[in-house]
């Protein structure tokens, strides 16, 4: 547990500042939801800044902590973290500016609005910078041990999921083109070259998330994959806390195997929702194939987890003397 916790003052400062700015945006966007009645495609203009603010606050905070665990490439990690913080701040700033103006940010093909023309390249290249910095950070982490076996496995699996989560929207941006014209909050006709939905480009979104209920939506696997690292780190903390009361959990290898099992199951979940979205199917309207795939992932995860638990409990129940005699006999 002590290897997980580090003083906040040692965290990567630019990323901490980025996270705090994003939290401020969440509060401001929350006020906007209440006092501003303007909508884009039937949802408040402030929903998108709120979602991006929350997601980047969580992720920037995680990276700010993660960089304290580096033993190799610390200077490179600091500069890459700083680049990530700047790119994320500018990206979300552009999204917020467009929301405040009552128009679209991503996929906006408007050529007569000078502000949109200036911001669209920022939105486009900002995504690429965020992806590249994420890839470099993942490589830096992979070449070293950042803590105990449990924490190390959670970080590596989580970063791998995050990289995949960032690749999904980038691939969608360049692989699919669905030109159309939509109306912004000002009643202006805006040309768009793409949409979030698969099968129904604009979709009809769920409350708050905005994920399509009439087709697939690439934001679903993007969200689940991007935040897998927080799920696995939380599991690491829980297992460390439980180890104080469960003797069979005190072995670092056991906790690492449980995190590995959870990572396997989580990766399976991301694979299923990606496949579901790619087929133009809403998250909340799974067909039989999707349900069977989810059941297979659940059963495999349950089986591997149960195997780890049974083996660990059996090992902890065997007296130490017996283990030594068995080892000497072999």
pLDDT tens digit string along 172-209?
Answer: 777 767 788 999 999 999 998 887 778 877 767 787 78
- The Cα 196–Cα 219 span in angstroms is 7
Model confidence at 222, pLDDT cuts 50, 70, 90, reads very high
Provide the residue count of the chain.
Answer: 330
Higher-scoring residue by pLDDT: 269, 128: 269
- The Cα 124–Cα 110 span in angstroms is 14
Is residue 217 predicted with pLDDT exceeding 60? yes
- Helices and strands of the chain, counted as H and E runs: 10, 6
Q: Tell which residue, 265, 234, 240, 253, has the closest CA to residue 311.
A: 253
- Half-sphere exposure for 216 (CA within 13 Å, toward CB): 19
The H or E element containing residue 292 is: helix 288-317
How distant, in Å, are the alpha carbons of 77, 86, 97, 140, 142 from that of 69?
10, 21, 35, 11, 12
How does pLDDT run across 225-279, given as a tens digit for each residue?
999 999 999 999 999 999 989 899 999 999 999 999 999 999 999 999 999 999 9
Higher-scoring residue by pLDDT: 206, 22: 22
- The Cα 279–Cα 277 span in angstroms is 5
Supply the pLDDT for residue 143.
Answer: 79
- The Cα 58–Cα 50 span in angstroms is 12
Supply the pLDDT for residue 5.
Answer: 56
Supply the pLDDT for residue 3.
Answer: 52
Report pTM: 0.83
- Specify the residue for token string 């979940």: 269
């Amino acid at each position: 547990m002590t290897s997980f916790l580090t003083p906040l003052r040692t965290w990567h400062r630019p990323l901490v500042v980025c996270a705090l700015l994003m939290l401020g945006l969440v509060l401001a966007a929350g006020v906007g939801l209440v006092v501003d009645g303007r909508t884009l495609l039937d949802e408040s203009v402030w929903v998108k800044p709120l979602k991006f603010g929350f997601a980047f606050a969580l992720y920037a905070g995680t990276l700010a902590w993660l960089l304290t665990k580096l033993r190799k490439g610390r200077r490179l990690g600091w500069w890459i973290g700083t680049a990530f913080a700047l790119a994320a701040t500018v990206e979300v700033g552009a999204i917020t500016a467009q929301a405040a103006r009552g128009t679209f940010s991503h996929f906006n093909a408007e050529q007569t609005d000078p502000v949109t023309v200036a911001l669209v390249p920022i939105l486009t290249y900002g995504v690429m910078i965020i992806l590249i910095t994420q890839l470099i950070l993942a490589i830096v982490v992979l070449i070293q041990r950042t803590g105990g076996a449990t924490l190390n496995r959670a970080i590596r699996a989580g970063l791998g999921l995050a990289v995949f989560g960032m690749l999904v929207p980038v691939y969608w941006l360049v692989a699919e083109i669905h030109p159309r014209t939509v109306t912004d909050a000002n009643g202006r006709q805006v040309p768009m070259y793409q949409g979030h939905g698969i099968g129904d480009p604009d979709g009809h979104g769920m409350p708050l998330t905005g994920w399509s209920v009439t087709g697939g939506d690439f934001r679903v696997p993007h969200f689940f994959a991007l935040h897998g690292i927080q799920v696995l780190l939380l599991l690491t903390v829980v297992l460390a806390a439980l180890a104080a009361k469960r003797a069979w959990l005190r072995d670092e290898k056991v906790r690492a195997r449980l995190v590995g099992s959870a990572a396997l199951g989580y990766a399976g979940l991301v694979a299923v929702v990606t496949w579901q979205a790619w087929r133009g199917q809403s998250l909340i309207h799974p067909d039989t194939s999707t349900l069977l795939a989810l059941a297979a992932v659940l059963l495999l995860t349950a089986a591997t987890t149960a195997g780890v638990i049974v083996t660990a409990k059996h090992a902890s129940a065997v007296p130490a003397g017996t283990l030594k005699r068995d080892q000497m006999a072999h």
